[in-house]
Amino acid sequence: MGGLDMERFPTVQELFDLTGKVAFVTGGARNLGFDMALALAEAGADVAITSRKLEDAKQSADVIAQATKRRVLPLQLDVRFEDQVERAVDAALAEFGKIDILVNNAGNVISTPENMPLEKRSLEHWHYVVDVNMTGTFLCSKHVVAKSMMPRKSGVIINIGSIAGMIGKDRRHYRGTDMGGWTIDYCAAKGGVINMTRDMACYLAPHGIRVNCISPGGFWRNQPEPFVKAYSQSVPMGRMGQDGKELKGAVVFFASEASSYCTGQNLAIDGGATAW
């Protein structure tokens, strides 16, 4: 057709295929981390998943392995601590021989109406939230890049940000609930992750390593009805995100050759919340 040699071009299925790849997913035992680990395995990758509780990682690894017939390695890891990061990365390399895809998903926030306000937030809370969400992303990237990606001149890093790192919190969502919501340290950390993505992408591009970020909006977690209603009304699509599907396509896109000319980008999966 038109003189084109169609055999030169991969099919869409081939572009998204992760067969032969190895992924390392932090915080991969539950919620969106589990969804992304499952998606990568469904696309053909073997996967190491980490959790602060090894038993949680084991249970989720069994579910993913049974569903996909892929090799899944459960690992204990608190990403705040460099010695634990190094041990987990070494364990994954001992099992699989390489890490092609790193998903920096582990994150947390400590938030109640009492400790959430700026004037009441403790330095202890600040350090914990920044260390889990931003320092952990740095530490995991450092060791995976040094031990596997740079030597092989190939790799993909997918950082998980949040729209909390893109906009300020609308406190009206929380009226009539006992929820604390985003905190200043969480917003700062996720904003840091997003810009860390850009700098890492520029630095690592000459080494054949791509770095992108996914920033989820609000996903349904059985929150109080007043919150769900208020949040949904503030989103152009009129609802919260749904577990089980709405991050799976994005993570496979960034992990695969389908995004081979894409680096340094932040993709908001938020129903249009940041588009107003």
- Separation of alpha carbons 238 and 80, rounded Å: 36
Q: Which residues contact 142 (CB under 8 A, 6 or more apart)?
A: 85
Active site includes 186? yes
**How many CB atoms are closer than 10 A to CB 13?**
7
Q: In angstroms, what CA-CA distances link 11 with 6, 15, 35, 142?
A: 9, 6, 25, 34
Q: Which of 91, 186, 89 is nearest to 141 (CA)?
A: 89
186, 203, 231, 261: the active-site residue: 186
Closest CA to 211 of 196, 221, 222: 196
| Residues recognised as catalytic | 186
